[in-house]
Amino acid sequence: MTETRETPGAVEAAARIVEVLGAGPTAVLTGAGISTDSGIPDYRGPDSPPRRPMTYQEFVGDAAFRRHYWARNHIGLRHMTRTRPNDGHLALAELQRAGAVGGIITQNVDTLHEAAGSSPVIDLHGRHDRVVCLDCRTVSDRAALAERLEELNPGFADEVDDVEIAPDADAVLARTEHFRVADCADCGGTLKPDIVYFGENVPKPRVLEAYAMVEAARALLVVGSSLTVFSGRRFVKRAVELGRPVVILNRGETRCDGLATLTVDQGCSEVLRALAEARRP
């Protein structure tokens, strides 16, 4: 089923993608590669350094891990709030308004699709701007927690210089032993970012909603994902089961290249902008 992985120019790639996807509507699955042009690094890109994300088991099982995470997240949040949608996000929003794209499933937690004006968007792995209590399940605003953490750790963020930003609103910090963590304001329970960690399952209703989006579409476009984790890969497999065309736009190989109708090894922003231009009347 697969075609040769192509590395054409953006305009030529867009024309080939339009040919494969047809008139639409197309469902889109995005990964970290679409947000690198916004200054958010990915986990598995060709030039990405090795990264070991914290697991759910580590977070819930060890107070020291939680303290270390929240200290890193407190710094990383500053960077995330400064990021803006890039041309790839904006082009997808334009394609949605034109009816060529029906909906977006994103593996990212950066909320940049929403900021670009896309709707509907399924945040498969959660959102960096929300916090959930593991005891009472109350969901609260991350910005409000930032104020509480600042009060508990005055000047902590100002003491950190030239920090490396990691994915998922995280920052690389060496020492965090003096950082104070805030508990749930409602029940005093343990707070966790409303993000699906490694080792944690995506909520079933969210998965079913994403399956329905794929099933309602006439094709699937994957953008900026290596499809390494099953949580995203399953939607490619479902599209193939339904006989839908699948196009993968990603720098480097993916786990589903052998299932795709077309794979394009090209930058996301350039090709998506060319795709939006090609779809204009």
Residues with a known catalytic role: 125
- The span from the CA of 81 to the CA of 62, in Å, is 28
37 carries a ligand binding annotation: yes
Is 133 within any annotated ligand binding site? Answer: yes
Listed in sequence order, the DSSP H helices in the chain are: 10-21, 56-61, 63-82, 87-97, 112-116, 142-152, 204-216, 230-241, 268-279
Q: Is 41 annotated as a binding residue?
A: yes
- Sequence-distant (6+) residues with CB within 8 A of 273 are 10, 87, 88, 91
87 is in an annotated binding site: no
Tokens for 269? 């922003």
Question: How far is residue 92's CA from residue 155's CA, in Å, rounded to a whole number?
Answer: 39
CA distance 97 to 87: 15
Please check if 40 is assigned to a binding site.
yes
136 is in an annotated binding site: yes
61 belongs to an annotated ligand binding site:
no
Match 């890969």 to its residue by tokens.
233
Q: Is 199 annotated as a binding residue?
A: no
What does the alpha-carbon distance between residue 53 and residue 50 come to, in Å, rounded to a whole number?
10
158 is in an annotated binding site: no
The whole-angstrom separation of Cα 246 and Cα 216 is 14
105 annotated to bind ligand: no
| 8 belongs to an annotated ligand binding site | no
Q: Cα(221)–Cα(17) distance, rounded to whole angstroms?
A: 9
Binding residues for Zn(2+): 133, 136, 184, 187
Binding residues: 31-51, 107-110, 133, 136, 184, 187, 224-226, 250-252, 268
Binding residues for NAD(+): 31-51, 107-110, 224-226, 250-252, 268
